Amino acid sequence: MLHSALLLPLLAPTGAESAPVSGHYVEARTASVFAGACHYNGEFVTAGRDALCAWRIEAGAFGGVDLAGVAIAAIVAGESNLDERGTRGSVVLVDAALTPERALAAVRWLVATRAALLGDVVEVRATSLALELAGDAYALSAEGVALRGSALPDRACCAMPQMVWYRPLEPLAGTLVGLDETFAVEVPALGRAWSRPGENAAFLGRFGAH
């Protein structure tokens, strides 16, 4: 476990070359991202303050370390809806099965390149992290975290883009909206816990080089 004051060494220059990082991404919010206008307006000021973001890297390197095959995630909590500017904090989850070198490089990459998304990183936790992104389906499990769902089968988000009220926190190509079958998080370091199944509250797509 590392707290924000101890994260400065993670940002230290490594003196080694990096290569563009790309792969697949999924993000689940505590508010519906695809809904009717009344539903969206009702949630905006009371919900949407949290998100679970996960990256599965397929290619690229950071600090001279190959990151292909690495999965890393972050739980982000804001003082208001994440679509508004405001203070936010995060907990980063890295797969405990990685070698220390690859785990450290993955955290360095995330903290150095996604600072605005993460806000104040209050904890970095090595955990048993399983991230599956296959076709339209997505699933993530870790200590205190469970997410499972799939893209809307009728691609309603593409046919009715006026009902997509948010943009992903990570720029994506081929963005789809997902329906969460399960979305439960308990993160003591941020003082947040929730269970929100059955909502159109996820984004999935490709990040990095498209």
What is the domain partition of the chain in residue ranges?
Answer: 4-198
What integer pLDDT is reported at residue 135 of this predicted model? Answer: 86
Binned average pLDDT, 10 residues per bin, the chain of 210 residues: 44 61 97 85 84 98 97 97 92 97 97 97 97 94 97 74 87 95 97 96 89
Q: Residues 6 or more apart from 137 whose CB is under 8 A from it? A: 149, 150, 151
What integer pLDDT is reported at residue 158 of this predicted model? Answer: 65
What integer pLDDT is reported at residue 5 of this predicted model? Answer: 36
What integer pLDDT is reported at residue 157 of this predicted model? Answer: 66
What integer pLDDT is reported at residue 4 of this predicted model? Answer: 39
What integer pLDDT is reported at residue 35 of this predicted model? Answer: 82
Indicate the pTM of the whole model. 0.90
